[in-house]
Amino acid sequence: MASGFFALFDDIASLMDDVAVMGKISAKHTAGVLGDDLAVNADKAAGFPPSRELPVLWAITKGSFLNKLILLPLAFLLSAFAPGVIVPILMLGGLYLAFEGAEKIIEWLFYREEKHEEEEEENADPLEAERKKIRSAIVTDFILSIEIVIIALGTVSDQPLSVQIPVVTLVAFAATIGVYGLVALIVRLDDIGAYLIRMSGDKGFGAALGRLLVAALPKIIKALSIIGTLAMLLVAGGIFLHHIPRLHELFHTWPSLVAELLIGLALGLVVTALLWPIQKLIGFVDKSNATR
C-alpha cells in the first residue's frame, strides 16, 4: 500500500517536472505575442479619468479571464477532434485585428476631426463610453488570447493531454496576470511619481525620478496608442504569413517585421473597404433614428 502511494507521488512529481519544462518552452514561444498583447491592451486601457483607470482595468482583466475560461476547453476539444478548424479561426481573428488597426490609421489620416467630434459626443455619456471601450478591449483580448492559446498548444502538441492541459492553462492565465499587471503599473506611473516626490520632500534623486515619471506618462500613453495599432497589424500579418505557405515564400527574404506589417495593413485595408458600405448604412440608420 505504501509503495503504491510513493509510486503515485513519483508520477505526480514527474508530471510536474514535465509541466515546468514545457511551460518554459511555451512561455518562450508566446513571448512575442505577449509583447504585442501588452502594447495593444495598454492602449485600450488608457485614456480614462484617473479615478476610473483601475476599475476599468479590473473589468477588462475579468473579461480576459473569462475569455481564457471559454477558449481553453474549446482549444483542447478542437485540438483533439477538429484540428483543421483552428487555423481558419485564428485567421478570422487576424482579419478583425487587421481591420481595427487599419481603421485607426484611416481615421487618423482622414477623419481626425470627425473622430474628435464623435469622442466629444461619447463623453456626454461617460458611462456608456466606458462600457463601449471595455467591450472593445475584451473583444481584442479574445483575439489575442486565441493566438496565445494556439501557440502554447502547438509547443506541446506531441505531449499527452495530462501535460497539455496544465501547461497551456498556466501560460494562458499567466499571460493575463502579467500583461494586465504591467498595464496597471503603466497607467499609474504618475501616482508612483507623485508618491516619490512626497516621500523625498521634493528633493534629490527621488523627486527627480518622480517628476520624470509624471512628465513621461502622457508621452508613454501616446506612444502606446501608436505601438498598439502597429501591434495589431503585426499580429494579423504574422498569423497569415506563418500559416499561408505562398505568402511565406513570397516574403521569406524580407525582414519579418516589415512583411508582417505590410500584410496586416493590406488585409486591414481590404476588410475596411469591404465593410465600408455596411458601416455607412448603419451610420445612416442610426442618424435617421436619432432625428425622429
Give me the chain's average pLDDT, please: 75
pTM, full prediction: 0.70
Q: How far apart are CA 154 and CA 26, in angstroms?
A: 8
Confidence of residue 282 (pLDDT cuts 50, 70, 90): low
Q: Taking phi first (over 0 means left), then psi (-120 to 50 degrees means alpha), and beta for anything else, what does residue 183 get?
A: alpha
The pLDDT value given to residue 23: 42
| pLDDT reading at 67 higher than 60 | yes
Helices 161-187 and 126-155, packing angle to 10 deg: 140
What pLDDT does 119 receive? 54
What secondary structure, in 3-state letters, does the chain show? CHHHHHHHHHHHHHHHHHHHHHHHHHHHHHHHHHHHHHHHHHHHHCCCCHHHHHHHHHHHHHHHHHHHHHHHHHHHHHHHHCHHHHHHHHHHHHHHHHHHHHHHHHHHHHCHHHHHHHHHHHHCCHHHHHHHHHHHHHHHHHHHHHHHHHHHHHHCCCCCHHHHHHHHHHHHHHHHHHHHHHHHHHHCHHHHHHHHHHHCCCCHHHHHHHHHHHHHHHHHHHHHHHHHHHHHHHHHHHHHHHHCHHHHHHCCCCCHHHHHHHHHHHHHHHHHHHHHHHHHHHHHHHHHHHHC
Higher local confidence (pLDDT), 204 or 37: 204
| pLDDT for the residue numbered 62 | 92
Displacement of CA 208 from its chain's centroid (Å): 33
Here the cell at position 164 is 497539455
* Cell numbers placing 226: 501608436
- Mean of pLDDT values over 49-55: 77
Q: Compute the Cα dihedral for 201, 206, 208, 211 and give only its sign.
A: negative
Q: What is the pLDDT of residues 102-122, one digit of tens each?
A: 988 888 888 766 655 555 555
Q: What is the predicted pLDDT for the residue at 1?
A: 44
Residue 37 has pLDDT above 90, yes or no: no
Instruction: Give the residue carrying C-alpha cell 504618475.
Output: 190
